Amino acid sequence: MPSSQLLAVEARDLTKTFRSGWRRQRRTEALRGASLEVPRGAIFGLLGPNGAGKTTLLSILATLLIPDGGSARILGMDVVRQAREVRRRLNMASGNASFVWSLRPPEVLDFYGRLYGLHGRALRARVEELIELCELGPHRRTEYNELSTGLKQRLAFAKALLNEPEVLFLDEPTLGLDPDVSVRIRAQVARLRREQGTTIILTTHYMREAEELCDEIAFIKGGRILAQGPADALKRQIRIGEVIALRLDPAEPVGLAEVPGVLDVRRRGEALEATVDAVDKRLPELLRWLHEQGVVVRDCRVHEPDLEEVFVELAR
């Protein structure tokens, strides 16, 4: 476990209950003891079904919400007691971001840049740099309301980089975007970490996005973190196993399911799919066993489970 000094985010037993309705009697437990550790410089994915508590957790870490219980630190600073100092060092972009309707992209960036204390030549240079980076140049005179969804998203992303944040929260950054825009945003995210060492915490519904970008992933459901680790480790942890697809002669040898390490056997078309706990160890053993049984192996392919399967398993 990394020491506190090496952590960008450290959350312990966070709880948050929202009250609504008549006399605020209706209670919704959004977080029920969520704990999280994110190393500095990591790209960290927060996955979970709708209503799992992702946005609530992100909002607490971004100082937009005050937790009912537990504690959270960003770069070693408490998000409640040292909120102002924390805010200087983080930023956030969300998929459904919105800005004042009449402002043009450079004006939006100028406004928030000033709120981060940027001024004069440094502010102007930063705004221009971000306009270029996010390819907003041709739209600099278009008012916010008239921008397309993709352009609005790019502007939100540019806004999130104004203060060169050390910790960047991205809440569904590619939600509803065209694939080419999503690809560019993902490239920017990877570049940010690579060139500036920014710690990035993102929520997404796109498993491929998480698998492509993230060093570590946490699954959250019902306000609790169910699992956390690198994607590969999670796949092992969930024990959904890896699949060996075999074309055999005879097609279904008796006793295959009893071979040690084989978790499941099922037929898919002409192939027989054997789910094993660790393919590196089990594949040679399986082939040896088939040979001993006199079974001819006509084809053999290994499929790694993707994150989506892990997600489905955990969300069950």
Q: Which of 13, 15, 35, 39: binder of another protein (CB under 8 A)?
A: 39
CB half-sphere exposure, 240, CA atoms < 13 A: 19
Applying CB under 8 A, does 259 fall inside the site for another protein?
no
End-to-end CA distance of the chain: 29
Alpha carbon distance 92, 160 (integer Å): 5
Q: Which of 27, 98, 251, 270: binder of another protein (CB under 8 A)?
A: 98
Of 221-250, binders to another protein (CB under 8 A) are 231
Applying CB under 8 A, does 158 fall inside the site for another protein?
no
Which residues contact residue 159 at a Cβ distance below 8 angstroms, ignoring those fewer than 6 apart? 91, 93, 97, 99, 108, 109, 112
Size of the site for another protein (CB under 8 A): 62
Stretch of residues binding another protein (CB under 8 A), selected from 125-133, 209-217, 277-285, 302-310: 209-217
> Can you state the angle between helices 149-160 and 179-196, rounded to 10 degrees?
10
Applying CB under 8 A, does 63 fall inside the site for another protein?
yes
Decide whether 115 or 257 has the Cβ nearer to another protein: 115
Stretch of residues binding another protein (CB under 8 A), selected from 116-124, 238-246, 256-264, 298-306: 116-124
Stretch of residues binding another protein (CB under 8 A), selected from 98-106, 147-155, 277-285, 306-314: 98-106
With helix as H, strand as E and coil as C, how does 34-92 read? EEEEEECCCEEEEECCCCCCHHHHHHHHCCCCCCCEEEEEECCEECCCCHHHHHHHEEE
How large is the C-alpha radius of gyration of the chain?
24
Applying CB under 8 A, does 277 fall inside the site for another protein?
no
Region of residue 70 (left: phi > 0; alpha: psi -120 to 50; beta: else):
left
Applying CB under 8 A, does 252 fall inside the site for another protein?
no
Applying CB under 8 A, does 42 fall inside the site for another protein?
yes
Q: How far is the CB of 68 from another protein (least distance, A)?
A: 8
Q: Which of 97, 101, 222, 115 is nearest to 171 (CA)?
A: 97
Stretch of residues binding another protein (CB under 8 A), selected from 213-221, 244-252, 273-281, 299-307: 213-221
Applying CB under 8 A, does 31 fall inside the site for another protein?
no
Applying CB under 8 A, does 275 fall inside the site for another protein?
no
Q: Which of 111, 188, 300, 309: binder of another protein (CB under 8 A)?
A: 111
Alpha carbon distance 272, 256 (integer Å): 10
CB 152 within 8 A of CB 97: yes
Tokens of 313: 């398993």
Cis peptide before 250 (omega within 30 of 0): yes
CB 8 within 8 A of CB 166: yes
Q: Which of 164, 277, 308, 309: binder of another protein (CB under 8 A)?
A: 164
Q: Which of 14, 36, 52, 118: binder of another protein (CB under 8 A)?
A: 118
Give the binding site for another protein (CB under 8 A).
6, 8, 18-19, 39-43, 55-56, 59, 62-66, 75-76, 84-85, 87-92, 96-103, 107, 110-112, 114-119, 123, 143-144, 159, 164, 166, 190, 193-194, 197, 199, 211-215, 231
